[in-house]
Structure 1
Amino acid sequence: MSIPQSGGGPIESFDQLAAYMESGNKPAADWRIGTEHEKFGFLTDTHAPLPYDGPRSVRAMLEGLRDRFGWEPVSEQGHLIGLVRNGANVSLEPGGQFELSGAPLETVGQVAAEFDNHLAEVAQIADPMGVGFLGVGAAPEWSHDQMDRMPKGRYRLMTDYMGGVGTHGTQMMYRTSTVQVNLDFASEADMVKKLRVSLALQPVATALFASSPFFDGKPNGHKSWRSRIWRGLDNSRTGMLPWAFEDGMGFQRYVDWVLDVPMYFVYRDGVYINALGQSFRDFLKGELPALPGEKPTLSDWADHMTTVFPEARVKKYIEMRGADIGSRDYTLALPAFWVGLMYDSAALDAAWDLVKGLDAETREGLRVAASVSGLAGEAGGVKLLDLARAAVGLSTAGLAARGQGEAALLAPLEASLATGMTQADRYLALYNGEWAGDLGRIYTAAKLQS
């Protein structure tokens, strides 16, 4: 989840909303890679989820990183809720999922070094406390009632709202973890092409990175339960954005959609003000019930943009959001996969040729099939395994063209394509075989480590 935005004066013209997105345009030489990784903390002796407070806790983790490694604290209402250092930040998801939002970096190799350094720092604090971190897309055993609530006003508001608009919203907040990569665009046309390719290929990412076949202590019938959860969350702010493939797509069309998504909050002076279900369009007119007579700033708009959750999201950059967190190697394969497709023009053109014939029904069908069946899924006559092989091949070529040696990081995906087995398939095989139904074994098998 995003931290509150800052900066930006009052919105005086409707055109400023699209201009905010357009200000992200960058020449290719300035494109960067920002990777975000969430992970579940647990007590190694009991396998209980990590609480916020206490000697073995999220707060103790944050304090240890702050005191030992020079991270600066971020607090809300007197509670330590995050850390910042050199363009990166550590933040908390609603159930205590520990997230690194990495600095904008030039190569996937630098992303790997950053992630390994983070895991090493985390281990130096966690290991003596008897704490581990789990790299799976959904909490395999914990119930909702077992999850501690993080002391963040945004999450208190969202929890109440999510319970009323969908069937799986609180599961998403408290019991899922993802990895995503944030990538730049050069222009409005470049944004549109990258958004369309990334939306169409998110089912491939969901299938390749599936790692959540367990929930509530048993197999759940899906390879990515995290993806299933997102399909039952809140249709007003999630999904595959079929309108993004229509004529006239651009910054303004995206703005129009975001304006029609109900608000969650307005952030003022360190406090989240309840604006649940209210309209940002009313806010622009000074008619928001939560703040009568007050008009929004650009930071309010930036905050509102963080409350939409499509499979690929646009801000001043594009976020690829369709993957479960996994092992260290799979986690690093995610930015490599998308950088290879998005940051080489020949690969991007070929990727568009690969998916431009898919209609909205097929794209949505692939999304569902990826969640249920992983690489074995298919929809509209398209097999995910075939589509994934083609996409990984294009990414490999795109990475090779960059000349940074990044293609080696796709090795886990190549192994999955060769066998047809994802992390979820391997965990299910272990559960039904060597583990003899003992799901407690996953805390060792899926423990994140460099």
Structure 2
Amino acid sequence: MELIYQKGSLSPMVLGKVESNTREGACFKLSSLSSGSVHYQFLHKDREIVRHRRGRRVIVATGPAIEAPVIATEPLTKDDLIHYMVSGCKPKEKWRIGTEHEKFGFEFDTLRPINYKQISALLNDIAVRFDWDKIMEGDNIIGLKTGKQSISLEPGGQIELSGAPFKTLHQTYDEINTPLSEEMGIGFLGLGFQPKWRLQDIPQVPKVRYDILKNYFSKFGSPGIHSLLMTCSIQVNLDFSSEADMIKKMRASLALQPLATALFANSPFKQGFPNGYASFRSYLSGQIDKRRTGMLPFVFNDTFGFEQFVDYALDVPMIFVYRKNKYIACGGMSFRDFMAGKLPAIRGQVPTISDWENHLTTIFPEVRLKRYMEMRGADGGPLSMLCALPAFWVGLLYDEVSLHNVLDMIADWTAEDREYLRNQVPFTGLKTPFQGRLLQHVAEDVLKWAKDGLERRCLNESIFLDPLIEVVGTGVTPAEKLLDMYNNKWVNNIDHVFRDCCY
């Protein structure tokens, strides 16, 4: 195994704290914190064992979990976890845009959700036609990878494209418009919630990780399972330059996440009928495990920084740990317990940074902080909205003037204000009353700042805001458009959504 490190950064004392693992194709850099504890910065090309077959790679994995490429012989400290978060800081010229979107697959002939056999055929077809590498769990294909792009399966068979980090929105647009498959009788639906079928109609995905997640979220009743199996979202991942920059962006994006939910509200149906919500997906996500979801009010405290986020994540109950190619349920113990060697499933073992990375993937606040920030408030939507979301947030967060305009506007918003918006917007969208006016009018100001921020980038990117300009100008959300079609053009027949929202 090759160790990559900068001259002078790795002392013999630090080398003595780790032992090499036999996993192939991975490399990492180790550096010493001021406290003397070990920090692992991963530079591995792939996180999985790679085998070559007929010129294409088959990536053997058991899902997105990261197997520890080193075995720690001394416990991690909180400083290690803080250092991990700090390592995400990048100078502005290296900021990138990473977009992810999920969609429902369905059969053209029956409109039923595609089952795993069809998903498997689709993924194999893409692998052959576009030369993507397969990710396998046992004998089952569970995803694809090429470069920094990946296609993965969500718990209910939703297809997710995780894009590469790009410098411009035009590159994001080109990536999103990469075709999948046109000849298999399969379509894809851009909505935030499965509009017709019942829970028992949703396909089972052969991923052990998801079995553990379903068991965990079933504790929160039908909202937990519906949120896991029947929703789709659009997300954008963005960078920060420093702790101070991260704090500003976390506060701005958390405060405005309900506004993004309103702009992209697109889940008004359930089991073939209107469900009474603009964003049923957002409503459901607010009903589950409040220890790992929500608006993170501590972000607005004067003491907030990387350390405070680490303290929060340390106490969020763990869902699984990954050892020897297996997922092990954790029974709700905390990562803090794990660091003390008190995890019953693997008593006496202590975590690695890989375990920390895996744990962070099971925390679902409106904005998730890792070594970048994930905006998580938007419903899945049509093709035109897939670039509108990154355009909105890039215009606001990657431009200092726009960012400070947002911070000035939200300066007097209380925790109760932010929570009110989070709870009310799923019902009333842009028509939500707020501080003496409608949220639509707040959106007018914010959208102008987003456009100005994009124009100051001088990359001709503001065109991607056009769908949002229409939404804000009319006050009609995508959900309300769908409801109007349902009541008129579709004559109350939900089947038409599969034609009008297919791409």
TM-score bracket relative to the smaller structure: over 0.9
Answer yes or no: is the 8 Å Cα contact 1:369–1:379 preserved in 2: no
CA shift, 1:270, in A, is: 2.0
1:102 lines up with 2:166 in the alignment: no
Give the letter aligned to residue 263 of structure 1.
M
Out of 489, 492, 495, the position equivalent to 1:434 is: 489
Which residue does the alignment assign to 1:58? 119
SS in 2 for 1:129: coil
String of CA shifts for 1:248-299, please: whole Å, max 9, x gaps: 0001100111111111101122211111311211110111101111110100
- Find the counterpart in structure 2 of residue 39 from structure 1: 103
Hey, what does 1:267 align to over in structure 2? 322
Q: Which runs of 5+ in 1 are unaligned?
A: none
Cα deviations across residues 123-173 of structure 1 (Å, max 9, x unaligned)?
A: xx2x32110000000000111111011111111001011111355111111
Q: Equivalents in 2 of 1:157, 1:276: separation in Å?
A: 10
C-alpha deviation, 1:368, in angstroms: 2.1
Q: 1:329 aligns with which of 384, 409, 426?
A: 384
C-alpha distance 343-6 of structure 1, shift in aligned 2 (>3 A): farther
User: Which residue is 2:338 aligned to?
Assistant: 283
Look up the equivalent residue of 1:5 and give its one-letter code: I
TM-superposed deviation, 1:380: 4.6
Tell me how far apart the structure 1 counterparts of residues 375 and 227 of structure 2 sit (CA, whole Å).
17
Equivalent residues of 1:169, 1:229 under 8 A apart: yes
Matched, 1:135 2:196: no
CA RMSD after TM alignment: 1.2
Q: Partner of 1:290: helix, strand, or coil?
A: helix
Contact 1:157/1:276 (<8 A) preserved: no
Mapped contact 1:431–1:439 kept (Cα < 8 A): yes
Equivalent residue for 2:154?
93
The code of the aligned residue for 1:74 comes to: I
Quote the offset at 1:365 in angstroms. Answer: 1.1
- CA deviation vs aligned residue, 1:329-379 (integer Å, no higher than 9, x gap): 111100000000111111111111121211111111112222111111124
TM-score (structure 1 length as normaliser): 0.95
Q: 1:149 to 1:336 in 2, by over 3 A?
A: same
Question: Separation in 1 of the partners of 2:262 and 2:477?
Answer: 8
The SS at the match of 1:322 is: strand
Q: State the match for 1:394 in structure 2.
A: 449
Contact kept, 8 Å, 2:67 with 2:325, in 1: the verdict is: no
Matched, 1:248 2:303: yes
2:292 is aligned with 1:237 = yes
Residue matched to 2:142: 81
The alignment status of 1:368 with 2:429, answered yes or no, reads no
Please state which structure has a larger fraction of its residues in helix.
1
Where does residue 347 of structure 1 map in the other structure?
Answer: 402
Q: CA deviation at 1:78?
A: 2.4
2:78 paired with 1:14: yes
Q: Greater relative contact order (Cα 8 A, min sep 6): structure 1 or 2? A: 1
Of all paired residues, the percent bearing the same amino acid is 45
Give the greater-gyration-radius structure (CA).
Answer: 2
CA deviation vs aligned residue, 1:72-118 (integer Å, no higher than 9, x gap): 0111122110111011110010011100000010001100011011x
Q: Please name the residue that 2:255 is paired with.
A: 200
- Counterpart of 1:279, as a letter, is S
Distance in 2 between the 1:21 and 1:8 partners?
19
1:116 aligns with 2:180: no
Question: Aligned to 2:500, which of 442, 445, 448?
Answer: 445
| Further displaced range: 302-311 or 362-371 | 362-371
| Off by >6 Å, runs of 4+ in structure 1 | none
In 2: Cα distance, 1:216 partner to 1:411 partner:
31
SS at match of 1:128: coil
The separation in 1 between residues aligned to 2:331 and 2:127, in whole angstroms, is 34
Question: Unaligned stretches of 5+ in structure 2?
Answer: 1-62
Q: Which amino acid aligns with 2:125?
A: G
Deviation, structure 1 residue 224: 0.5
For 1:166 and 1:32, how far apart are their aligned partners in 2? 38
Deviation digits for residues 33-52 of structure 1 (CA, Å, limit 9, x no counterpart): 00001000000111100111
- 1:257, 1:263 → 2: CA distance? 12
What amino acid does structure 1 have at the position aligned with 2:389? L
For the Cα contact (< 8 Å) 1:76–1:270, is it kept in 2?
no
Contact 1:94 1:155 (8 Å CA) reproduced: yes
Aligned length in residues? 438
Deviation per CA, 1:199-240, whole angstroms, max 9, x where unpaired?
A: 000011100001110012210111110001111111110000
**Is the 8 Å Cα contact of residues 67 and 322 (structure 2) preserved in structure 1?**
no
Note if 1:301 corresponds to 2:356: yes
